Amino acid sequence: MSSMMQPQIILLKEGTDTSQGRAQVVSNINACTSVADMVRTTLGPRGMDKLIHDDKGGTTISNDGATIMRLLEIVHPAAKILVDIAKSQDSEVGDGTTTVVLLAAEFLKEAKPYIEDGVHPHSLIRSYRTAGHLAIEKVKELATSIEGKSLEEKKSLLAKCAATTLSSKLIGGEKEFFASMVVDAVLAISNDDRLNLLGIKKVPGGTMRDSFLVNGVAFKKTFSYAGFEQQPKKFLSPKILLLNIELELKSEKENAEIRLSDPLQYQSIVDAEWNIIYDKLDKCVKSGAKIVLSRLAIGDLATQYFADRDIFCAGRVAEEDLQRVAAATGGTVQTSVNNVIDEVLGSCEVFEERQVGNERFNIFSGCPSGQTATIVLRGGADQFIEEAERSLHDAIMIVRRALKNSTVVPGGGAIDMEISKYLRQHARTIAGKSQFFVNSFAKALEVIPRQLCDNAGFDATDVLNKLRQKHASGEGANYGVDINTGGIADSFANFVWEPAVVKINAINAATEAACLILSVDETVKNPKSESAQGDAAAGAMAGRGGAGMRGRGGRGMRRR
């Protein structure tokens, strides 16, 4: 009794909220499960889309795991890890973002009963790491290489990968159309790592089928001055001059102070100003260029001057677009018009200003270095086109990955089932409780085919049983969910292919995230940093009130 009367030892400052131990692990697992539940239904070709509506009134429709997770603005500290792995999957491989979240959550879900029964998280973590390692080795072993094929063959193989990615998206109905477009675009820049050489321009209106690929650069017509109408709008093999200077009549009095003693001298100043600009323009014309682009403004005087000499010009071209033109046409951006030699001029087969929807576009096609490509996307609503762009981005990344690593695995849950089977078999050789954990890991992998079935409205238990049986028979390694009939089918033969890196990265990241979350047994909320945030967000009053509440609540609910 007396020991209970001892004063409490206070280590952390007033208002600090801690919770720890097994309950904390379980509560983190629950949080992650509910995050996964939010993106669960988007998986696969029959997955649904999410409409996210933010407080600024913007709406986004998306099927992309990473985009959804980003827009959800999750605040739970453990669940944020899932957001991070989705993001990293997106930047590393570009696809499989829903997959990675589902896998991580499923690993955790399988771990939960053990944690509740008092298994130490570290036993689980160790087994999970081993299982993850084995799984990845197995994926590598099962992957089929597409190396050494002819270009035509390779193209069709890559298109298959792109089509698999696109099949789960809003533009899935036109996946063949877009898949071949994406492959052509990626092959155009194959030797370059700079993704920004591949532009996607969105022009609302029209139908998806009106989208097209420019083997070169396209950008929206920039702001133009009077005189522009008289410039020619089409050239065959023109020389192109790229500038980073202003071609405008500058009043020198803004740059320097000029003192005049005689009013007559004023004319000479004005003349000098005109001479400067005319000199610049003259040099542009002398260079032999038929097209002059500048990142900075090209004024009305210059526009008219060029128009009189049948030269096309565009000012205020976006940096990115100018770089792309430079890369495509082989020109270099100049910061001065003095001494413009032929080598710095670019060229292309055709330049044209063309109407696309209700926008005018400058299009450079048939570029010599062939290092760039631009996809002009058409389609109805803004949200639709935005999502189409994200989907194409996924497909582009996938094709690039497939091209680089050139190994593919069968999708539709086939590879997941096969690894699951392999791990189950392996588990039997393990003595001790690790056997259970590896088995659970194997079971968790089945979440992919199960979710594909659930989302398509199939009987998941039935399909999974068929799949297990097929895979166990030893000949069905490529069998996955048949999304069209609700049965099982050879995914490889049906060309449902994914680059092996997608799976390898997903399993790796999901395992790591699961282990990380399992290893956290205490979360400490520091009241100071919290109230600072609260103040910023909701004003001082609300911040103080909130902190007070949290302080009390926190101590009351100590071990929750």
3-state DSSP assignment of residue 234: strand
Binding partner of residue 415 among ligand ADP, Mg ion, none, CB cut-off 5 to 8 Å per kind: none
- Tell how many helices (H) and how many strands (E) occur in the chain: 18, 20
Binding of ligand ADP by 448 (CB under 6 A)? yes
When binding is defined by CB under 6 A, the residue of 29, 36, 43, 103 that contacts ligand ADP is 43
Q: Does 90 bind Mg ion (CB under 5 A)?
A: no
User: 517 touches which of Mg ion, ligand ADP, none (CB within 5 to 8 A by kind)?
Assistant: none
Neighbours of 445 (CB within 10 A): 28
Site for ligand ADP in 469-488 (CB under 6 A): 481, 483
Q: Is 67 in the site for ligand ADP (CB under 6 A)?
A: no
Q: In what order do the strands lie in the sheet with 198-204?
A: 198-204, 373-379, 212-214
Please enumerate in sequence order all residues whose Cβ is within 8 A of that of 402, keeping only pairs 6 or more positions apart, or say none. Answer: 146, 157, 158, 161, 408, 499
> 496, 509, 510, 547: which one contacts ligand ADP (CB under 6 A)?
496
- Which one of 96, 315, 330, 346 is in contact with ligand ADP (CB under 6 A)? 96
User: Contact at 8 Å (CB) between 326 and 243?
Assistant: no
Closer residue to ligand ADP in complex, CB, 178/437: 178
Is 394 known to be catalytic? yes
- Is 98 assigned a catalytic role? yes
Q: Under the criterion CB under 6 A, does residue 97 sit at the interface with ligand ADP?
A: yes
Best CA proximity match to 72, nearest among 41, 35, 42, 98: 35
For 240, phi then psi, to 5°, come to -125, 125
Residue from 98, 222, 329, 374 carrying the catalytic annotation: 98
Of 494, 401, 409, nearest to 145 by C-alpha is: 409
Q: Output 99 or 329, the one with its CB closest to ligand ADP.
A: 99
Backbone phi and psi for residue 526, each to the nearest 5 degrees, phi listed first: -85, 115
Catalytic residue among 64, 416, 454, 482: 64
What is the C-alpha to C-alpha distance for residues 433 and 422, in angstroms, rounded to an integer?
Answer: 18
Q: Please, are residues 325 and 331 in contact by the beta-carbon 8 Å criterion?
A: yes
Long-range contacts of 425-429 (CB under 8 A, 24+ apart): 426/134
| Least Å from the CB of residue 549 to ligand ADP | 39
Annotated catalytic residue within 42, 60, 67, 97? 97
Q: 446 vs 498, which CB is nearer to ligand ADP?
A: 498
For residue 42, indicate whether it is catalytic.
Answer: no
Is 49 a binder of Mg ion (CB under 5 A)?
A: no
Per rule CB under 6 A, count of chain residues that contact ligand ADP: 23
When asked if residue 408 is in the footprint of ligand ADP (CB under 6 A), the reply is no
Q: Which of 17, 49, 95, 394 is catalytic?
A: 394
Residues 6+ positions from 400 with CB-CB distance below 8 Å:
94, 186, 195
Region of 39-47, 157-165, 294-302, 332-340 interacting with Mg ion (CB under 5 A): 157-165
Based on the shown chain and the rule CB under 5 A, indicate whether residue 498 belongs to the binding site for Mg ion: no
Computed on alpha carbons and rounded to an integer, the radius of gyration of the chain in Å comes to 31
Q: Is 159 in the site for ligand ADP (CB under 6 A)?
A: no
Whether residue 18 lies in the annotated active site: no
CA pair distance 52, 172, nearest whole angstrom = 20
In angstroms, how far apart are the furthest CA atoms of the chain? Answer: 107
The rounded distance, in Å, linking the Cα atoms of 65 and 154 is 28
Query: By CB under 5 A, is residue 95 in contact with Mg ion?
Result: yes
Asked if 186 is part of the footprint of ligand ADP (rule: CB under 6 A), the reply reads: no
Can residue 216 be called a binding residue for ligand ADP (CB under 6 A)?
no
Separation of alpha carbons 476 and 499, rounded Å:
20
CB of 476 to ligand ADP, least distance (A): 15
Site string for Mg ion, 159-178 (x = CB under 5 A): ------x-------------
The span of 44-52, 197-205, 271-279, 467-475 binding ligand ADP (CB under 6 A) equals 44-52
Inter-residue contact 165 to 395 (CB < 8 Å): yes
**Which residue minimizes CB distance to ligand ADP?**
411
- How big is the CA angle at 413 (ends 407 and 414), to the nearest 5 degrees? 60
Q: 3-state DSSP call for residue 216?
A: strand
Give the binding site for Mg ion (CB under 5 A). Answer: 95, 165
Q: Where on the chain is the footprint of ligand ADP (CB under 6 A)?
A: 42-45, 47, 63, 65, 95-99, 164, 167-168, 411-412, 448, 452, 481, 483, 496, 498
Give catalytic residue positions: 64, 97-98, 394
